[in-house]
Amino acid sequence: MNCDLGLLGPTFVTGIILGFLYALIALGYTMVYGVLKLINFAHDAIFMVGAVAAFYVFGEWLGISGSRTGLTLLVMLLAMLLVAGAAAAVSAALLERTAYRPLRRRNAARLSYLISAIGASFFITYLFQQDFLLGPGQRNFPSILAAGSDAFGFTLLDSRINNPEILVVVGALVCFLFLDRLINQTATGRSIRALSEDPVASQLMGINIDRVIVTTFVIGGFFGGVAGAMYGLLFGNVVWNMGFIPGIKAFTAAVLGGIGNIRGAMLGALLLGLVENMSVVCLDAEWKNVVAFTLLPLVLIFRPTGILGERIGG
């Protein structure tokens, strides 16, 4: 094993940036886990749907390409994130109604939910792989944010930080603060927390659990979709299976921080991003995914409730 310490800086920066992206996806896993106590395996597909929706609206329909500046950029960027978020939120709500609610009505066993969720994930993913939708290849995402050495940006720890990277970090922080507020300080948040603590008692207190569960899926889906659009801007393309690897990693991150715990998701995602990317210092880049996937069983064995424990809210 020969370690290249010169890579410490750049991998640290990449790790942080990818960590923020994973964090946005992890929010969806962790919130659904908080209320239903089950992994929404289809969340990776929701993430992809968000990115693809932004691609269709801005790339195909409006035919936008090339970078923008000033106010146009700001408006377009917000619109793009909103479109992606909305599309993902709607599909998450549909997912809840079609794949989960019928099972809940029957009080089905856990295994049924998990299988149904896996089915939904692969159904959505491979539906988009078909030629009448996205098709099997990569598609170019409308890159409205200028990147590269001549665009706005700065160099930090030997690595170039451009607009897309800044967007991911700032966007994730804004989303996180917003969600933290929502969960801890609003009536909706209170009902989500109540449901996650005791489903039966919260129903007796007059909480409409169907509505709360859909709301949870919608919020989680929205952030997943926003993450999808950011992914598109960061890497410049969308592809039908783009959700798979980030999905598993975001899930790992959520468990690492303590699943069901929103602050934990953020912490876990940053940690995972760092460990995974900084492993490149000593290992070949091909082993990055292996490092990330090995981390999960290790966490589960030594600290099954994650770093911050399982508790939605602060």
Question: Which chain residues interact with other proteins by CB under 8 A?
Answer: 35-39, 41, 98-99, 102-116, 118-127, 129-132, 136, 195, 199-200, 203-204, 209-210, 213, 244, 248, 251-252, 255, 284, 286-287, 289-290, 293-294, 296-297, 300-301, 304
Q: How far is the CB of 82 from other proteins (least distance, A)?
A: 28
Q: CB 21 → other proteins: shortest distance, Å? A: 19
Q: Phi and psi at residue 153, in whole multiples of 5°?
A: 165, 180
Nearer to other proteins, 21 or 250 (CB): 250
Q: Which tokens is 47 given?
A: 């993430």
Residue 37 carries which DSSP code? S
Nearer Cβ to other proteins (116/143): 116
Residue 313 to residues 29, 51, 75, 163, 193: CA-CA distances in angstroms? Answer: 14, 28, 32, 31, 7
Assigned token pair, 243: 């959700």
Structural contact between residues 94 and 178, judged by C-beta atoms closer than 8 angstroms? no
Shortest approach of other proteins to residue 282 CB, angstroms?
A: 15
Q: Which is nearer to other proteins, 203 or 237 (CB)?
A: 203
User: How many angstroms from the chain centroid is the CA of residue 14?
Assistant: 17
Pick from 178, 181, 172: nearest CA to 313: 181
Q: Are 226 and 42 in contact (CB under 8 A)?
A: no
Q: Nearer to other proteins by C-beta: 67 or 129?
A: 129
Q: Which is nearer to other proteins, 175 or 195 (CB)?
A: 195
| Closer residue to other proteins in complex, CB, 120/239 | 120
Shortest Å, Cβ 122 to other proteins: 4
Pair 307, 257: CB distance under 8 Å = yes
CB of 201 to other proteins, least distance (A): 10
Q: Are 273 and 15 in contact (CB under 8 A)?
A: yes
Burial class (CB in 10 A: 0-12, 13-18, 19+), 284: exposed
| Closest approach of other proteins to the CB of residue 118, in Å | 7
- CB of residue 170 to other proteins, shortest distance in Å: 30
Taking the least distance from each CB to other proteins, the nearer of 162 and 203 is: 203
Half-sphere exposure at residue 208, Cβ-oriented, CA atoms within 13 angstroms: 6
Which lies closer to other proteins via its Cβ, residue 77 or residue 269?
Answer: 269
Burial class (CB in 10 A: 0-12, 13-18, 19+), 161: middle
User: Tokens for 139?
Assistant: 């598609």
Give the shortest CB-217-to-other proteins separation in angstroms: 13
